[in-house]
Each structure stands twice: as structure tokens, then as C-alpha cells.
Chains A and B, each alone.
Chain A
């Protein structure tokens, strides 16, 4: 229970231990802690930055989508107008075509009719003549009465 040389030894040991921990322990561990703190705070900042960029990109994307939608609807409108125009023009073309075909057919039919009527008339005339011939074979010579018969045929 008395103070003696142990005190001096303890003071020396204490000084050595403190110097050692000051040189080789404290700075190394502190450095690791600070470095980790820094990397964590950097990471957090980067995450925040990313979040910000993400929201920015989102608004940009939204604007783009809106624009695209608008464009699409304009294009759709144009296409609709165009389509109805095409349908309209096709309709009118068809109508005119139809009329043309009909009139052509009409003309052809008319011609056919005329032709038929001509041949019919000739046949009737032939029949009439042959009938008359049978009746008048003796009295009328075809060569003598040809002029008169042609006139008759023309009249029929």
C-alpha cells in the first residue's frame, strides 16, 4: 500500500501504450471508418441524383408520349379524311363507269335491234314475195317485175 518504483514503470508503460495506439491503432481504424462513411454518403448522394434523374426522365417521357399521341391523332384524322375522299372519288368513278357501260350496252342493243329489224323485214319481204310468187307464178315474171317488187320491199 505504498508508492514505489512501480509508479515509474506504470508511467513508462502507459506512455508506450498511448504512443503505440496513437501511431498504429487509432489512425488506421479511424481512416477506415471515415472512408466508409464517405462512400456511404457518396452512395446516398448518387442514389438521390439517380432518383432526380429518373423523375426528370419520367416527365420527359410523359411529354414525349403526349406529343406522340397528338401526332397519332392528327395522322389518324388525315387518314380518315383521305379514306373518305378516296371512297367518295371511287363512288363517283363507279357511277360514271356504270353509266358509260349502260349507255354502250344500250347503243349495242339498239344496233342489234336495227340489224334484226332489217333482216326481219328482208325475210318478210322474201316470204311475201315467195307467197306472192306462188300465187302469181305464172303471171309475173321475176325479171319483168323486179323493179316493182324492190319498191315493195323498200316500203315494208
Chain B
């Protein structure tokens, strides 16, 4: 996979500059003490790329991703529900205006593209837009802030950006894919959908080829959706980590140490520049995920 390649490339670049020659293996597990000895750059990165993994009857679960994703979902629901409960047709408060602005923006995007009657598409798009944005926003927090706090509470590994976890992005995109299948079958019927898969775009004579093409086309949708978001956020997170290698997670604590102060300042400036760029990326990725969901679902509604 390309992203894995990039990941490995970045890691080996980092390894070039690091003093030690540790392996880039990700840690497993979740709780327990972090080793006291100072990290090499390589170890620092792989430590930060390790999920807090707990076992469950269904298999391992990334507890950190789930926690932050659910936390952001609650934040979204809490804020929007509060305003929805108070929503009145009178003169809106500033907060209500802001919420309504977002809702109207999403509604506009949906109405521009989707012409069906489903009541699900618009709230689905809103949820994706805000939730993905909030999850992406975690990337702008200093990389070591929450993991360090976690270490103090005995959590060994913690990744705070849920959308930099393939499970989370695929969780969204596969759900969208299931909705695509649901609406395709609901609108066109099983037979209609099967016909569309088999007889388009090249007619009945090319049935196997059509089928192959169509199936790949459909399957590419959730994969591209999930990978696009994951790739952007994973790369963004990794770059923040690489920038953080300047002080190897020491951050503000090194501001007092004159020997490392230039490094800390360098980390701050680079981190600031990347954060400003990344601010655009996280909003854009949330928007793209929403727009593509709308487009895919309206395509599922179109009967040829």
C-alpha cells in the first residue's frame, strides 16, 4: 500500500537521524509503565504510532480511537442538541445563528446534489462533516499533550486522532457503502441493481467485463473514502511527530534548558507552520468526505 510505503519512508528518514538503531515495531497493549530510559527518535515515533489496544471477545480494540471518536460524537450531539432544543423561529442568538449557518450550508450542499426524498441524507452529511472535523481537529493539539497525561495515569500508548486510525475511517466509509447498497436496491430493486451491475456500461455482450468493472467501481468507493481521510490525517499526525522529535516529546519542559532551547524554538515554528496548513486540510477532508458521501448516495438513487 502506498501509504504504508510513505510511512516506512518517513520512519527510515527519521531513523537516519536518530542515534540508536531501534526497530520501528509498533507496541501493543495499553496499560503499564512507559520505560524510563530516554527514547531514540525511532522509538519515539513508533511509541506515538502505537494504539492503546485492549482485548475483547470480538478481538483487539483500539480503546484510544474509540474513546476519542465517541467523545467527539458526544461533543457534536451535545452542542447541536442543546441548540436544537432551544431552536426558535424568533431572532436567533449568536450561537444559534452559527449552528444554523452550518446546517444551512450542509443543506445547500445536499440539495444541490441529491434530489431524492430520503430524510437520512442531510443529517448523515451533517454528522459526517462535523464529526470528522472534530476528530481531525484532535490533530492540532500538541502531539505529546494527551499521551503524556495518559502516561501519568498509567496508559502506555495513546493516539488522540481517531481519523488517523484506519478502523475509524473505514467504519465511516463502510457504513456509507452499506447505505449505497441499501439505496441502490431500494430504488432500483434487486433485479434493477443487478442489471445495472451486469449490463452497464458496455451492454449485454460484455457481461463479465461489466460486472468486474462495476464491482470494482462500487468497492473503490468505500476504500477511497476511508483511505483518503486516513492518509491525510495519518501523514499530518506523522509530520507533527517528526517535528516533535526536535525535543523528543519534551516540548515546553525544554524551554528552561538553554542547550535545547534553539531546538524547542525550531519545533515551535515548524509546528506552527504545519498546524496552519493542517487547519485547512482537516476542514477540507471533512468537507470532501461529506460531499463524496452525498454524491455516492445520489448516484445510488439514480435509475438508468
Residues of A within 8 A of B (CB): 1-11, 13-15, 17-18, 20-22, 24-26, 28-33, 35-36, 39
Q: Is the CB of A32 within 8 A of B61?
A: no
Given A14-B175, A22-B120, A39-B89, the answer on whether A9 and B66 have CB atoms closer than 8 Å is: yes
A-contact 0/1 string along B137-150, CB 8 Å cutoff? 00000000000000
**For residue A6, which residues in chain B have a CB less than 8 angstroms away from its CB?**
60-62, 65-66, 165, 167-168, 171
**For residue A2, which residues in chain B have a CB less than 8 angstroms away from its CB?**
166
Q: Is the CB of A28 within 8 A of B84?
A: yes
Q: Is the CB of B73 within 8 A of A4?
A: no
Within 8 A of A (CB), among B150-186: 165-168, 170-172, 174-175
Q: Is the CB of B175 within 8 A of A33?
A: no
Q: Is the CB of A7 within 8 A of B65?
A: no
Segment of B29-37, B96-104, B203-211 in the binding face? B96-104
Give, as a whole number of angstroms, the nearest-CB distance from B132 to chain A: 10
Segment of B12-20, B123-131, B251-259, B279-287 in the binding face? B123-131
**For residue B88, which residues in chain A have a CB less than 8 angstroms away from its CB?**
32
Q: How many residues on the B side are at the interface (Cβ–Cβ under 8 A)? A: 50
Is B76 located at the chain interface by the 8 A CB criterion?
A: yes
Choose from B49, B59, B70, B123 the contact partner of A4 (Cβ within 8 Å). B59
Whole-angstrom distance between the alpha carbons of A39 and B90 in the complex? 9
Choose from B126, B166, B175 the contact partner of A21 (Cβ within 8 Å). B126
- Determine the residue in chain B with the shortest Cβ distance to A14: B175
5 pairs of A and B residues whose beta carbons are closest in the complex: A10-B171, A6-B167, A35-B89, A5-B58, A32-B87
Q: Is the CB of A28 within 8 A of B85?
A: yes
Give, as a whole number of angstroms, the nearest-CB distance from B65 to chain A: 6
Q: Is the CB of B56 within 8 A of A17?
A: no
Give, as a whole number of angstroms, the nearest-CB distance from B210 to chain A: 30
Q: Is the CB of A25 within 8 A of B61?
A: no
Give, as a whole number of angstroms, the nearest-CB distance from B45 to chain A: 13
Could you say which of B26, B103, B167, B175 has the most chain A C-beta atoms within 10 Å of its C-beta? B167
**For residue B62, which residues in chain A have a CB less than 8 angstroms away from its CB?**
4, 6
A-contact 0/1 string along B37-77, CB 8 Å cutoff? 00000000000010000001011111001100110010011
Within 8 A of A (CB), among B105-132: 107, 119-120, 122-124, 126-127, 131
Whole-angstrom distance between the alpha carbons of A47 and B260 in the complex? 70
Given A11-B171, A32-B89, the answer on whether A26 and B123 have CB atoms closer than 8 Å is: yes
Q: Is the CB of A18 within 8 A of B124?
A: yes
**For residue A25, which residues in chain B have a CB less than 8 angstroms away from its CB?**
77, 80-81, 84, 123, 126
Choose from B61, B83, B92, B166 the contact partner of A9 (Cβ within 8 Å). B61
Give, as a whole number of angstroms, the nearest-CB distance from A43 to chain B: 12
Choose from A1, A3, A10, A29 the contact partner of B87 (Cβ within 8 Å). A29
Task: Give me 22 A-to-B residue pairs in the complex whose CB atoms sit less than 8 angstroms apart, sorted by A's number.
Answer: A1-B49, A4-B61, A4-B62, A5-B60, A8-B171, A9-B61, A13-B73, A13-B171, A18-B120, A21-B80, A24-B81, A25-B77, A25-B126, A28-B85, A29-B80, A29-B83, A29-B87, A29-B103, A30-B103, A30-B107, A33-B100, A39-B89
